[in-house]
Structure 1
């Protein structure tokens, strides 16, 4: 298990016993997150499906290919979001993607920004990545603000990148380089 402590948050990689709370988080935010993410079949929102997802993420963690964290208020076991450093590639790329979602009740409180900053520190200091990328819908103003507050740079528009709930959606590509963060 990997655990990261921020000022107000604790991030820790998921374990099997998190399946119930992860399924509940997914179900509770199904409609809210569907604005910018594909809707899934009903099966996806079950404890069993999330258990399988956690097992897969644990396998990828052991291979240093993905780190899937739950987001918790410091000192609490209440799951209020999730964030992943995923699709990690080693040289010649030495890069990965960050993706995150926060429970609707906890948005606009700086939680996603703090979580992204903690994962960025982990990515550069521990995983030793050179580049972190993120996709974001041009309509997702909150997520754009999160990335820009974390010093990510918008590199361009990827036309019709993702098929989301019946239509192809454009997404911005944002990135953060190790040099951007620390001038290394």
Structure 2
């Protein structure tokens, strides 16, 4: 399933194996920036061969209706500036999935993440027929909290010692939006 969603500030499209090198460049540019809120990766992760394999896996996961990962691209340049996924898709009786995203540090604060989250949430509700979309976010990640709240997500609770990042267990807020409220 090749996905393409047009927005005002960006567009989202399924990644192809040919995007692996550009993905490596995005990851390298943001290696330190993203490591504050995400687990660190081994050096091999930042190679075209590993990224090609991850893209192949995401294509397979989409075919199996488990996960939909797409690149976030800048309109003017067609440059890859982030990625976003709807993953852990659960069918009845849940009809839910998680959403996760990362934006190139140069493009933060420009409304791109908000638009990307909105586009993928619409996809979740309208195409995947989900009832609920959920997200985890670090209490320190004020920008990401703002993105979720601007797109209609509400905080439901705090998950204690939830994710192991940079040698310590970190708490995360649990956010969700329900179909009727979106």
The TM-score, its normalising length taken from structure 1, stands at: 0.97
Q: Which residue of 1 aligns with 2:95?
A: 94
2:82 aligned with 1:81, yes or no?
yes
Q: Which residue of 2 aligns with 1:12?
A: 13
Secondary structure of 2:130 counterpart: coil
Q: Which residue of 2 aligns with 1:66?
A: 67
Supply the distance in 2 between the matched residues of 1:13 and 1:127 (Cα, whole angstroms): 16
Secondary structure of 1:80 counterpart: strand
Q: Which residue of 2 aligns with 1:157?
A: 158
Supply the distance in 1 between the matched residues of 2:136 and 2:124 (Cα, whole angstroms): 17
Supply the distance in 1 between the matched residues of 2:171 and 2:131 (Cα, whole angstroms): 26
Q: Deviations over 1:45-83 (max 9, x none)?
A: 111111110010000011111110100122532000000
Q: Which residue of 2 aligns with 1:106?
A: 107
Secondary structure of 1:7 counterpart: coil
Secondary structure of 2:80 counterpart: coil
2:174 aligned with 1:168, yes or no?
no
Question: Would you say the 8 A contact 2:9–2:111 is kept in 1?
Answer: no
Residue 128 of structure 1, CA deviation: 0.7
Residue 8 of structure 1, CA deviation: 1.9
Q: Which residue of 1 aligns with 2:30?
A: 29
Supply the distance in 2 between the matched residues of 1:76 and 1:84 (Cα, whole angstroms): 22
Q: How many residues align?
A: 181
Supply the distance in 1 between the matched residues of 2:58 and 2:24 (Cα, whole angstroms): 15
2:123 aligned with 1:122, yes or no?
yes
- Which structure 2 residues correspond to residues 126-137 of structure 1 after superposition, within 5 A? 126-137=127-138
Supply the distance in 2 between the matched residues of 1:106 and 1:75 (Cα, whole angstroms): 13
Residue 146 of structure 1, CA deviation: 0.4
Supply the distance in 2 between the matched residues of 1:140 and 1:129 (Cα, whole angstroms): 26
The TM-score, its normalising length taken from structure 2, stands at: 0.98
Q: Which residue of 2 aligns with 1:39?
A: 40
**What's the Cα RMSD here?**
0.8
Question: Would you say the 8 A contact 2:160–2:170 is kept in 1?
Answer: yes
Structure 1 gaps of 5+ residues are none
